[in-house]
Each structure stands twice: as C-alpha cells, then as structure tokens.
Amino acid sequence: MTLVIGLKAKNGIVIASDSKASAEITSNDTVQKIFKLGDNSAIGIAGDGGLAMYFLDQIKEGLNHGTGVLDLAEQIRKKGKEKFNDFFEHLDPNKRPSLSLLLTGYTKSKEPEIYTLNSRDNFVPRKSVTGFECIGVPYIADYLLNRLYEFEIDVDSGQELCVLCIQETGSQDTSVGGPTRVFSFSSTQSFKELTSEKVAELRKKADQYRVAQKSRFYPEDQD
C-alpha cells in the first residue's frame, strides 16, 4: 500500500510519501510515488504500482503546466478517464483496479490548491477544503492532521508534520514503510526534495514527539 500526503503552508506546498510497495510474496522499499509536473506542481500516486507508473507515463505527455492547477486537474481528468477506459474496456467498472492521484499546485492567481482524483469515479477532481489531503492508507494521518494542522503552518513545520504522520502510520500498518520522501515548492520556488539527512532529523524529532506524549501517562515517581 501507500501513504501520500499533501498540505498547504503559508509559504508553500509540501507533498510527502513512503516508498514501500508490497505484493503477496515480495516487498520493495525504493518505489517513487511523487512526481514533478512543471516547476510549481506535483502529483502523487497510490494503487497498483506498475499500473500507476505506466498510467502516469501515458497521461503526462502533452499536459500544459502553465495554465494553473485547476486547469491541470481538468486535463488529468479527461486524459485519465480516456486512458483508463481504454485500458479496461473489457471489465465492468466495479471490477477495475483502483488508482488514486493527489495533485498539488498553484492557480493562475498564485493560490495553493490540492485535489484528489480517483479512477472509481472517472478521476473527477475533488478540491481540499481542509488544507491537506491523504491517499493510500489515510486513516492515522487524517486523524493526526485534523488534530495538529493549522492553515498558518510554514513549510518547515509542514514537512515535520508529514514525516510524523507517515512514521506513525508505518508503526501501525506494515504496508507503509521504507524511506520517507519529502518535497516542497511554492509559486516562486521550484520543486525540490529534502535530503535524506534532513528527513532523518525529522524522523528523530517525530520519535521524540511520540515519547514525550507517552510520558504524560507514566510520570516519574516523585517520592
């Protein structure tokens, strides 16, 4: 399985994922799940890994990244619906594989937006109203983000929050794991990835957060 998280910060957008792919008898911890779409937009994928990669390769061709993320979402909807119907015209819609996409970027007026698109409903874009979205295995991350996220978060803190959510999910669901990948960009700064060293620092901070919270229930004996 997969966990991809996108969130809006006051000075940019953060998008992060795990890197684990699991099958019945194999597992791989080096799978890329987030991809650049122009300098100021990016997309994350969840679902059948091989299918998702091929599908994305097919629909990326010819996308116009310069018209804003809303138009980009509509371009992906049209291309995605057409391509998926072409792939699986022999299957009843309810029996087709499921793919989820998380699209992040800026409108023409430089406003950050996040959309989710799913093959189950022909990739109709759904715009985030919370400032964050998760695809794949979202339950723990959704809970934490609803508790901890605020619209005024900055990119640095947003990166830390995404790492915490992925780490907590992986601790409870073994289908999420491998190195955490964290990316950010803004309307003026191009898409870039955090170094593995920086991610390791954030993972350590996430561990400290967990220990600090647990210690509230087990105070030291004061006698």
Mean pLDDT score, 122-145: 96
The band of 134, judged by pLDDT with boundaries at 50, 70 and 90, is very high
Q: What is the DSSP string of 68-95?
A: -HHHHHHHHHHHHHHHHHHHTTTS-GGG
For 43-84, how does the pLDDT look when each residue is reduced to its tens digit (9 = 90+)? 999 988 889 889 999 998 889 988 999 999 999 999 999 999
Mean pLDDT over each residue of the chain, to the nearest integer: 91
Supply the pTM of this predicted model: 0.92
